[in-house]
């Protein structure tokens, strides 16, 4: 879900500091509750529900997730494989499914197959779980922790509204921005979440790099087995887009 939101709102300057299109995240007794920016409810839900894109040749969104209405302004996104779910608070009478404009040969998988996984969803889930061995659980736990603290990311969108968020083959999450919140400020907030520990530091964290640029890598505190390169990680990067030679980084 975090990856789907990152992809949907990547480098979007119109978000006014709501980096993932969310204004709040809160727990209730059984579910995580997402509160989108009022004008972005449909877009948030649309980014999570699975669509097969014929041009792309794959699935956008979260395989296995289906949409149910559970209240006048409350929707449930439920995983038909595990039974896990989150709630989404709508605004007004907006229908979250109304945003879809399908391309030719594309399919709304959540709508055409409401009760079971499609073949393309099964293929996507196999890829999601492949190549990580026992690191998969660490990655999912790390992403879940960050999803519950996604409001921390709004600090990097305070100036331009958005940030660039992406991943490398589902093994990490990269948070990249150019100005506003400093690298040190975001790194400190992530550490204070008590779920992430800094592994590699840059000159920016030590306060010696110009304009506090550079990158920092975080890994789950619960991780105890080595520090191989492919282990799950969160990378925060602040870059200088105004440099005449293009983006530059200061990394120790």
Q: What pLDDT sits at residue 202? A: 42
Tens of each residue's pLDDT in the chain, 252 residues = 988 998 888 888 888 889 899 999 998 777 899 999 988 888 899 899 999 998 888 999 999 999 998 888 899 999 999 999 999 998 766 677 666 666 777 899 998 999 999 999 999 998 887 765 667 777 787 788 888 888 888 888 888 778 888 887 777 788 888 877 777 788 777 777 766 655 544 433 333 333 445 556 655 443 333 334 456 777 788 876 654 333 444 332
Q: Which two tokens stand for residue 22?
A: 């969310």
Q: What is the pLDDT of residue 241?
A: 62
Identify each DSSP E strand in 99-204 by its residue range. 107-108, 164-166, 172-177, 196-200
CB burial string 132-164: b at 16+ within 10 A, e below = beebbebbeebbebbbbbbbbbbbbbeebbbbb
pLDDT of residue 145: 82
Residue 202: which of 190, 218, 189 has the closest Cα? 218
| Contact assessment for residue 78 and residue 65, using Cβ atoms and an 8 Å cutoff | yes
Q: How far is CA 90 from CA 14, 74, 214, in A?
A: 20, 6, 38
4, 62 Cβ separation under 8 angstroms: yes
Structure-block tokens of residue 106? 């594309």
What's the pLDDT at 204? 35
pTM: 0.80
Q: Give the per-residue pLDDT at 239.
A: 76
């Amino acid at each position: 879900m975090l990856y789907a939101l990152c992809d949907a709102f990547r480098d979007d300057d119109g978000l006014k500091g709501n980096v993932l299109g969310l204004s709040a995240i809160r727990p209730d007794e059984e579910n995580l509750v997402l509160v989108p920016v009022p004008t972005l409810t449909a877009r948030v839900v649309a980014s999570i529900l699975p669509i097969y894109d014929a041009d792309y040749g794959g699935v956008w969104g979260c395989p296995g997730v289906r949409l149910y209405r559970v209240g006048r302004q409350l929707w449930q996104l439920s995983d038909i494989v595990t039974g896990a779910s989150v709630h989404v608070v709508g605004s007004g009478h907006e229908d979250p499914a109304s945003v879809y404009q399908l391309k030719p040969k594309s399919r709304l998988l959540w709508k055409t197959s409401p009760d079971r996984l499609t073949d393309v969803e099964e293929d996507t889930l196999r890829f999601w779980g492949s190549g990580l061995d026992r690191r998969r659980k660490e990655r999912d736990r790390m992403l879940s922790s960050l999803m519950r603290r996604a409001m921390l990311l709004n600090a990097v969108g305070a100036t331009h509204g958005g940030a660039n968020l992406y991943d490398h083959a589902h093994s990490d999450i990269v948070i990249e921005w150019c100005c506003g919140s400093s690298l040190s400020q975001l790194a400190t907030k992530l550490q204070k979440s008590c779920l992430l520990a800094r592994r590699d530091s840059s000159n920016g964290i030590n306060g010696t790099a110009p304009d506090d640029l550079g990158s920092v890598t975080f890994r789950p505190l619960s991780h105890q087995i080595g520090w191989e390169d492919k282990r799950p990680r969160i990378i925060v990067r602040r870059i200088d887009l105004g440099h005449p030679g293009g983006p530059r980084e200061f990394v120790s």
